Structure 1
Amino acid sequence: MELFFKYLQYEKRYSPHTLTSYHTDLGQFAQYLQQVYDITDAAEADHTIIRSWLLTLVQHNIQPRSINRKIACLRSYYRFLLAQQRIAVNPMLRIKAPKASKKLPAFVLEEPFNTLLDNFTFEDNFEGQRDRLILEFLYGTGIRLAELLGVDHTDIDHRAKVVRVLGKGNKERIVPLNDSLLNSIAAYEAQKKQYFADNNSVKLLVTNKARPLYPKFVYRVVKKYISLITTSEHNSPHVLRHSFATHLLNKGADLNAIKDLLGHASLAATQVYTHNSIEKLKSVFEKAHPKA
């Protein structure tokens, strides 16, 4: 398994988030094999054993989306074993994934969020400007949490008004920055220089001890402020990415342009946002049309 994870990390360039999830999934599968079938090598499991594990997950009310991720993990693993000639037949060829219900991406409403950024008084110090920048960066660019944490000072080109982002699979893309976001970056950088006498940090966003920010920190900041404008439980950093795409689409932005901004590999991943836009069109129709 360790060889498999090195393969995913260094050859397939999987994200740290995916690697963590796959570690968990394979660990659970290995534990099941040992406890139920007294098998210590996953290469010995056939499709009936794998199916029994998946059935157990269903019986424990695990969501279809989570089960599908575990199936994707096992498919990658057994393809790897087949390529390494550890197995002669891929047992995952006889496994079908359950259908998962499609959920519309959660997003915050445009007006309340912009009111938060414009009217909320963020403290005029390092911490206050950092909190504001986290919110505005995620919403103003639509980049992923991992991408935000990876942004260095040198990745930002103030003159060209762009930021260089390293996305999934180490794919680099250029994302434009609006004037408001550039002003927030400048205000934060000024506070950062005052707060740290010797500022040698390469990363743009850091903790109070000049260490790079970590995911839980950003989650806490986003939840703190989003909770001020909505009672929804959907208040993670990814919701701001959804909001970025949904608001652009509602304003008439081209779907292919949004795809490139988000760093999606295919248009299929971006098309999910059209459903939110269609729901808005329905709402406008029902309010405006005399026969609605």
Structure 2
Amino acid sequence: MLLQEAIDEFLLYLEIEKNYSKNTVAGYSFDLKTFEDFLVKHHRSLELNDIHKTLVRRFIQEQITKENMKPRTIHRKISCLKSFTKYCTRENLLMNDFMVGIETPKIDNKLPVYMSLQELQKLFRYLENDTGRFAIRNHLMFKLLATTGMRRSELVDITWGQLDLFNNTIRIHGKGKKERLLPLHPMIVPLIVDYKNSLPEYLLHPSQPVFINKNGDQLNPRGLHKIFKETLEKAGLPPKRFSLHHLRHTFATLLIQENKENVDLRIVQELLGHESLVTTQVYTHVDFEQKKKAIDSFNIFEAPS
């Protein structure tokens, strides 16, 4: 079987049987296409059973040396290939799993980048005073991200039918199409009403996307990313420092930092849609000040005489 045929079957399996979102499937498709392009570029066989681990190692080496891929990206590509060959082996499409013995690079466990409360408030002040053509939309989008912690793919996929302004909730379709119900912050509701009033009625049908571009089509993640970078610059914040995902980090970090009495990790886990609490535990770094106070009050030394 040709590699492309196996890839097509694998992607169909992810979409239909695993119920992965279209964005997740697109990510797998991109990584597998990168590997196929490597084989074509080096005039290698595209027969699935002709591929061996030496080729995979050369692919990884090229991605690191020529494409300057970061360890986290390489880790993702290797994980994608491992999932692919595991599926192919299970379905008897592949005789020998060529990913056996291929190790993923070590990833530094860096603390998440996030905005300080002052930086977030600076962004908010700009959004509140912006008078541009898409000011109402952008104001809502970025405050909604900052007060829910949803992913950018989740934001652009929201339809009017997912918003419940009677109960002030929003239903999110997350990874694996798993649903979670999020409460809307009180300051978000009037922004939704203002934005809704700015749109023609035919765009307000429950099946219509909430956030649209200048052509009236659904905004895509790439377009949202571009708008966010432009907004950061206009707000006087460094666009190279922050990304949309950092806004998600900001939500989780400040939620714990500013509201310790009412928030525990399990609440944050459910709000973010994390499968494992371990993923959420990275945000406990925000308690540095609390840790410092604990150390300072650790009275094990005798007072000087």
With structure 2 as the length reference, what TM-score do the two structures score? 0.84
Distance 1:279 1:42, change over 3 A: farther
1:32 is matched by which residue type in structure 2?
A: F
Which of 160, 175, 187 matches 1:180?
A: 187
1:287 is displaced (CA, Å) by: 10
Task: Name the SS for the 2:99 alignment partner.
Answer: helix
Q: Deviations over 1:114-171 (max 9, x none)?
A: 2432464132x86211010011111011111111112121211122121111001010
Which of 144, 153, 159 matches 1:146?
A: 153
Distance 1:185 1:41, change over 3 A: same
Contact 1:133 1:188 in 2 (8 A): yes
Distance 1:284 1:37, change over 3 A: farther
1:244 is matched by which residue type in structure 2?
A: F
Aligned to 1:121: 129
Distance 1:282 1:146, change over 3 A: same
Query: What pairs up with 1:232-251 in 2 under 5 angstroms?
Result: 233-251=240-258
Distance 2:287 2:174 in 1: 29
Query: What pairs up with 1:1-292 in 2 under 5 angstroms?
Result: 1-36=7-42, 38-60=44-66, 61-118=68-125, 120-123=128-131, 127-192=134-199, 196=200, 198-201=202-205, 202-227=208-233, 228-231=235-238, 233-251=240-258, 252=260, 253-275=263-285, 277-281=286-290
Task: Name the SS for the 1:134 alignment partner.
Answer: helix
1:40 is displaced (CA, Å) by: 1.4
Percent sequence identity over aligned pairs: 28
Distance 1:48 1:115, change over 3 A: closer
Distance 1:286 1:231 in 2: 34
With structure 1 as the length reference, what TM-score do the two structures score? 0.87
Distance 1:234 1:286, change over 3 A: farther
Q: Deviations over 1:225-279 (max 9, x none)?
A: 223242251332212111100001112120110000000111111111122x144
Task: Name the SS for the 1:173 alignment partner.
Answer: strand
Contact 1:138 1:240 in 2 (8 A): yes
Distance 1:171 1:55 in 2: 36
Aligned residues: 286
Contact 1:152 1:203 in 2 (8 A): yes
2:130 is matched by which residue type in structure 1?
A: F
Q: Deviations over 1:10-57 (max 9, x none)?
A: 222333333333223222222333444621123321223322322333
Distance 1:254 1:156 in 2: 26
